[in-house]
Amino acid sequence: MYKSRRKALPALPTHAEGVPEAVAETRYATLNGSVFLRGSVEADGSAIMFASDEQLQLLSTATTVFIDATFKTVPRLYYQLFTVFIQQDVFVFPVFYALMTSESCTVLCSVS
């Protein structure tokens, strides 16, 4: 059973540059029928970004924004998971995710 499951899954990329194309072919590119994979950028490292349309709408109207960088629980190809949170009433929700290959936010600053 494990062997047939492994054969049915696509091969994992060996470099971060190949991840956007690999993810675009899977169910992880969408969330509840809308776009979730937003793309990738290359500048002083690379990043792959995720956010749904609803999350981006919440982010555009937010008055308070929090950020977090997680280093220990990311896929081996990446260095950190950068997350943007917004505050709604007394709750805080994640609305944007970026898997980054370097510690620098330069790669995200290059997004226009």
Whole-prediction pTM:
0.79
**Which amino acid type is present at position 108?**
L
Residue pLDDT, tens place only, 71-93 = 888 888 888 999 999 998 889 99
Domain ranges of the chain: 2-109
The CA distance from 84 to 71, in Å, is: 15
- What are the distances in angstroms from CA 67 to CA 15, 33, 82? 26, 26, 7
The CA distance from 25 to 110, in Å, is: 25
Residue pLDDT, tens place only, 6-35 = 777 767 777 788 888 888 878 888 888 889
The CA distance from 29 to 91, in Å, is: 27
